[in-house]
Amino acid sequence: MGELRTRLGRGDRLVCIGDSITADDRGYVSVARDVWAARDVGVEVLNVGRGGDTARQMRARFETDVISLRPTWVSLMVGMADTIKYLRGDPDGCDVAGYQEMVGEMVALAVRAGARVALCTPNHMEYFGHGEGMHRPANVMLAEKAQWLRDTARAGGHLLVPSGEVLLEAQRQAMSGARWLSLTSDGVHLNDLGRALTAVAFVTAFGYDLALDDPRQPTASTP
215 assigned to some structural domain: no
In this prediction, residues 58-71 reach a mean pLDDT of 98
pLDDT at 127: 62
216 assigned to some structural domain: no
15 assigned to some structural domain: yes
211 assigned to some structural domain: no
| CB contact set of 106 (below 8 Å; sequence gap of 6+) | 17, 55, 58, 59, 62, 66, 74, 76
Question: How many domains, the chain?
Answer: 1
101 assigned to some structural domain: yes
217 assigned to some structural domain: no
What is the sign, positive or negative, of the torsion defined by CA atoms of 19, 85, 116, 6? Answer: positive
Per-residue model confidence as pLDDT tens digits over 134-172: 678 888 999 999 999 999 999 999 999 999 899 888 888
210 assigned to some structural domain: no
CATH code of 140's domain:
3.40.50.1110
218 assigned to some structural domain: no
Among residues 70, 64, 77, the alpha carbon closest in space to that of 24 is found at 77
The backbone torsions φ and ψ at residue 11, rounded to the nearest 5 degrees and listed phi first, read 90, -10
The domain containing residue 199 runs over which residues? Answer: 2-205
Per-residue model confidence as pLDDT tens digits over 179-216: 778 888 887 888 999 999 999 999 999 988 765 444 44
